Structure 1
Amino acid sequence: MAYSERRFELRDRTRDGHERLDAAVGAFDSLRSYSHYVGFLGTFRATMDDQLAGAIWPLEWSWRPTMVSAALAQDAQDLGLNAARSMKAAIDLRKPSALLGALYVLEGSTLGARFLRQRAAGLGMTGAFGARHLSLMSNDMAQWQSFLLLLDDACDFDMDHAAAAANEVFALALRCFESGRVVYQ
């Protein structure tokens, strides 16, 4: 994996939020706990999709994030969950550094997806049923490498803006996981 000084500084500045989110996700060790995970993640990713839809992408960026909301919606349907709805959020992504900070959280989740995919497989979830989003997230590690290049090559990068946005995204994810809004069909 390529060395990214900005990545590691963002990791350090978001450690608390990341650890709190990991603890909230917990160890899905049953189909019920996995269903809760899919429902909460669906809410989070739908909310972030809404946020990203309003972002202004710098013209020089040809790279785009991995979108997993559609796969999560299919996974939710497999598990008998209602489709996720986005929550109210107002993360300011107008500055490219803030957008990169938010994307750091979203794209960084692909690293953990490999581990989560193995745990989901132990519950009978596959890339064709119940774990499409994990399959999508963990299949292309080149996407993460491409993001790191974008992060490292960004001009006029402001670490404070990036870290603030990344922490807001972690806080949003935690709100989604703590919301208890998973609804079974």
Structure 2
Amino acid sequence: MAPEFERPRHMAYSERRFELRDRTRDGHERLDAAIGAFDSVQSYGRYVGFLGTFRATMDDQLAGAAWPAQWRWRPTMVSAALAQDAHDLGLEVARSMKVVIDLSDPSALLGALYVLEGSTLGARVLRQRAADLGMTGGYGARHLSLMSNDIAQWQSFLVLLDDAGDFDMDRAAATANEVFALALRCFESGRVVYQ
């Protein structure tokens, strides 16, 4: 029998995850509706353009975050893959928006990471939709391939989320909702520019 402090590697249940899911349900559902079901290369290009803006913005925010010294885990960064996908589709590479999300507190950082890493679960479905349009891990859907390749990354995040000491659920949920709102703003913010 494993000592009480050791968590089985295959465990994916997380009470904090489900509480965050409940507290962010409205923002998540609104974002899903904004993304919609891309059913053409044009609608897929819109998705890539707007997601590129969101992920470039969040990658900038994460680059400036103070990571707790004991955290060895790091998120999946997809901005570079999205830039390549945009290039494949003849889109201008998305630029980061000028926003500031306070990630100075570990609970806030975990809230933001919950949104970003949680998107890897949806990436599996989106990857199939993109494949139906001829997009692959080598052309147009690199970011989806990167996001959906390793479910262990999500499970490792859940362990980090559950094991974080002095965790403030209110702070984490507020930041997660702020990140969902930013994503929604990116998806509702205008047009995608073709080169």
Which of 9, 12, 17 lines up with 1:2 in the alignment? 12
Aligned partner of 1:120 in structure 2 is: 130
Deviation at 1:181, TM superposition (A): 3.9
**RMSD of the TM alignment (CA)?**
0.6
Judge which range, 175-184 or 107-116, deviates more.
Answer: 175-184
Aligned partner of 1:42 in structure 2 is: 52
1:27-79 CA-partner distances (Å, limit 9, x unpaired): 00000000000000000000001110110000000000000000000000000
Q: Distance in 2 between matches of 1:144 and 1:117?
A: 17
Residue 131 of structure 1 pairs with residue 138 of structure 2: no
Which of 94, 112, 122 lines up with 1:102 in the alignment? 112
Aligned 1:33-182 pairs, distance under 5 A = 33-182=43-192
Q: Distance in 1 between matches of 2:43 and 2:12?
A: 35
Residue 20 of structure 1 pairs with residue 30 of structure 2: yes
Q: Secondary structure at the match of 2:194?
A: coil
Which structure would you say has the larger Rg? 2
Amino acid at match of 1:125: M
Output the TM-score relative to the length of structure 1: 0.99
Q: Which runs of 5+ in 2 are unaligned?
A: 1-10
Distance 1:51 1:181, change over 3 A: farther
Amino acid at match of 1:74: Q
Q: Which runs of 5+ in 1 are unaligned?
A: none
Judge which range, 163-172 or 85-94, deviates more.
Answer: 85-94
After the TM superposition, which parts of structure 1 deviate over 4 Å for at least 4 consecutive aligned residues? none
Q: Distance in 2 between matches of 1:2 and 1:147?
A: 10
Output the TM-score relative to the length of structure 2: 0.94
Aligned partner of 1:183 in structure 2 is: 193
Q: Distance in 2 between matches of 1:60 and 1:73?
A: 31
1:3-35 CA-partner distances (Å, limit 9, x unpaired): 100000000000000000000000000000000
Alignment: residue pair count: 185
Identity of aligned residues (%): 86
Deviation at 1:2, TM superposition (A): 1.6
Amino acid at match of 2:77: M
Aligned partner of 2:6 in structure 1 is: none
